Amino acid sequence: MGAFCRDCLARLPERTSPERVVRCPACGSPRLVRHPDLDRLTLAHVDCDAFYAAIEKRDDPSLIDKPVIIGGGRRGVVATACYVARTFGVHSAMPMFEARKLCPDAVVIRPDMPKYVKAGRAVRAMMGELTPLVEPLSIDEAFLDLTGTERLHGTSPAETLARFALRVEREIGITVSVGLSENKFLAKLASDRDKPRGFTVMSREEAARWLAPKPVTAIFGVGRATASALARRGYATVADLQRADEPTLMRAFGTEGLRLGRLARGIDARRVTPDRPTKSISAETTLDADLADYRALEKLLWALCEKVSDRLKAAGLSGATVTLKLKDSGFHLRTRARTLPDPTALARTIFAAARDLLARETDGTTFRLIGVGVSALADLADADPPDLVDPTAGRGAAAEHAVDRIREKFGKAAVVRGLVLDDGPTKPPASPAGGKGAPASAKKARQRQDRAALRSSRDISPATTKSP
Partner 1 sequence: MKVTVERSELLRSLSHVHRVVERRNTIPILANVLVRADGAELSFKATDLDLEVVETIAAEVAGAGVTTVPAHMFYEIVRKLPEGAQIGLDATGERAVMTIRAGRSKFTLQTLPESDFPDLAAGEMTHAFSLSAADLKRLIDKAQFAISTEETRYYLNGIFLHRVGEGPDAVLRAVATDGHRLAQVQFPAPAGTEGMPGVIVPRKTVGEVLRLIEDPAGEVKIELSATKIRFGIGAVVLTSKLIDGTFPDYGRVIPTGNDKLLEVEKHDFEQAVDRVSTVASERGRAVKLSLSGSKLTLSVTNPDSGSATEEIEVAYDAEPIDIGFNSRYLLDIAAQIEGDTAILRLADPGSPTLIEDKDAKGALYVLMPMRV
Q: Give 11 or 338: the residue with its C-beta nearer to partner 1.
A: 338
Distance, CA of 348 to CA of 397 (rounded, Å): 8
Nearer to partner 1, 186 or 324 (CB): 324
Go through 183-210 and write b for each residue having 16 or more CB atoms within 10 A of its CB, e for each that does not.
Answer: bbbbbbbbbeeebbbbbbbbbbebbbeb
**Residue number, 206 or 400, with CB nearest to partner 1:** 400
Q: Is 252 helix (H, G, I), strand (E, B) or coil?
A: helix
The CB-of-342 to partner 1 minimum distance in angstroms stands at 8
Write down the least CB distance from residue 309 to partner 1, Å: 17
148-154, long-range: CB < 8 A, 24+ apart = 148/42, 149/42
Name the minimum Å distance from CB 337 to partner 1: 11
Q: Give the whole-angstrom CA distance, residue 185 versus residue 249.
A: 20
Backbone angles phi, psi at 262, to 5 degrees: -70, -45
Smaller CB separation from partner 1, 32 or 322: 322
Helix (H, G, I), strand (E, B) or coil at 468: coil
Contact positions vs partner 1 (CB under 8 A) = 338, 340-341, 352-353, 356, 378-379, 381-382, 385-391, 435-438
Amino acid at 308: V
Q: Which is nearer to partner 1, 25 or 385 (CB)?
A: 385
Minimum distance of partner 1 from residue 365's CB (angstroms): 22
Residues whose CB falls within 8 Å of the CB of residue 152, separated by 6 or more in sequence, listed in order: none
Measured distance CA(166)–CA(187) in Å, rounded: 19
CB of 399 to partner 1, least distance (A): 17
Exactly one of 141, 159, 206, 298 is catalytic; which is it? Answer: 141
Instruction: Output DSSP code: residue 147.
Output: T
Residue 393 near residue 341, CB atoms below 8 Å: no
Q: Max Cα separation, the chain?
A: 86
For residue 4, the Cα-to-chain-centroid distance in whole angstroms is 34
Q: In this structure, how many other beta carbons lie within 10 angstroms of the beta carbon of residue 393?
A: 17
State yes or no: is 141 an active-site residue: yes
Name the residue nearer to partner 1 (CB basis): 354 or 406: 354
Q: How far is the CB of 419 from partner 1 (least distance, A)?
A: 18
Known catalytic residues? 141
